[in-house]
Structure 1
Amino acid sequence: MARPISASHDLRRDEILNVAAACFARQSYPATSMNHIAAECGTSKARLYHYYESKEAMLFDLLDRYTQKLLVIIGQVEARAQRRALDERATLHELIRAFLHEYETSATRHAALLGSTHFLGEQQREVILDRQRDIVAAVTRFLCRAYPDRLNARNQTAVAMTLFGMINWTFTWLRPAGPLSYAAFAEEVIGLLDGGLGRVA
């Protein structure tokens, strides 16, 4: 009978992934070695291999967990919107707030998603890319429902990618201790959408 994996094993994996994400963000995925990650974790490379068979396996687990979490956030926002009887525009606004709340504490993971996915093997890369497509498709649906008079088959992809362009790269410039918080920036994004897409066509 196989020995069950303990809760501490999963917690240790989370710690390793946090360190790996920080290393990838600081010095890039190619420049980070298992030795680097082991040293940052305060352990040996041999011990690290107890949890992950390779750096690529670590990257995949990191991105797999993170993209699943983003999809969970989408589902949670939809469920809360139904419970609170929010209209479509308010639901989109809640999604933007939820994404930026997550980005605030997941900056290094988000950096890995945007900058390191192409280092995965083909099959694993497709898993992550499919999740990203699902996220984009979901956000596009939220936008189309929120602004039905402004979005159509011709412009909906461009508008969705414009929204992602506004929020996805915050890890490069937006600092929690800076003059603008993530929560305040979410309201700026919402204001820009309502001021543009929300105006009468």
Structure 2
Amino acid sequence: MPRVRSDDYEAKSHAIMDCAAALFAKEGYPSAKMQDVAKACGATKSMLYHYFPTKDDLLFAMLMEHLERVVQGVEEAIVLKATPREKLLTMVEAYTQKSTQSRRRHMVAMQDIKYLPRAKQTPLIELQRQLVDRVAALLREVNPGLPEDTYKPYTMMLIGMLNWTDMWYRPGGTMKPQELCDRISRLFLKGFLAEKG
């Protein structure tokens, strides 16, 4: 039997995750069955099980990849040689771009992590925690000297705004992606920078 090339394997597993994300977003994770995913992908169940032995494995891989990409985008923005405000704008752009590229995965990540067993939830929750920590560190740079317990609520408000944007925003609409990022950054900064230590 010929050995499957790594890039072929990656491409097929990504295609399966994309099909599954669309199905999970439409039908809901609990209702979707592996045979439905196979049908949506134009694959056999046995081929699907070769890549993902269980539906939980498929959901876990999808969410892990998505969250890793978002965290990486945020980290890249934070280490830029730029002013804190410029870093924030870059972070908003990176976060929005990463989630838009995998809009359905993002929706699934927000809604379906709770269906995974605890052992599979734990590394995903850790990635979410890393994301919160990175954004909070950036907010400390943007407005230093605030009481420490101020940063976490603002971090969660910003992440919440970015997460829910994916539910309503349509890139092909009248507001272009760059304008959306600029508006989010301005709206957030006006309130956050009004906070005094």
Q: TM > 0.5 between the two?
A: yes
Q: Is it true that 1:18 corresponds to 2:18 in the alignment?
A: yes
| Residues 180 and 76 of structure 1: CA distance in aligned 2, closer, same or farther (over 3 Å) | same
Give the CA RMSD over aligned residues.
Answer: 1.6
Q: Give the match for residue 187 of structure 2.
A: 192
- Code of the residue aligned with 2:148 in structure 1: it is A
TM-score by length of 1: 0.90
Cα distance, 1:102 vs. partner? 1.6
| Cα deviation, residue 183, structure 1 | 2.3
Secondary structure, in 3 states, of the residue corresponding to 1:179? coil
- Conserved 8 A contact 1:21-1:108: yes
Query: Runs of 4+ in structure 1 displaced over 3 angstroms?
Result: none
Superposed displacement of residue 4, structure 1: 7.0
Q: Could you say what secondary structure the match of 1:169 adopts?
A: helix
Match of 1:177 in 2: 172
How far residue 74 of structure 1 moved from its aligned partner, in angstroms, is: 2.1
Unaligned runs of 5+ in 1: none
Where structure 2 has 5 or more consecutive residues not aligned to the other structure, the ranges are none
Q: Contact 1:89 / 1:147 at 8 angstroms: preserved in 2?
A: no
Aligned length: 194
CA contact (8 A) 1:19 1:41 kept: yes
State the identity %. 26
Of 187-196 and 47-56, deviating more is: 187-196
- SS of 1:168's partner is helix
Aligned twin of 2:72:
72
Q: Distance between the aligned counterparts of 1:119 and 1:154, measured in 2? A: 31
The 3-state SS of whatever aligns with 2:148 is coil
Of the structure 1 ranges 66-75 and 27-36, higher mean CA displacement relative to structure 2 is found in 66-75
**Which residue identity is paired with 1:88?**
P
C-alpha separation in 2, matches of 1:63 and 1:37 = 16
Q: Secondary structure at the match of 1:36?
A: helix
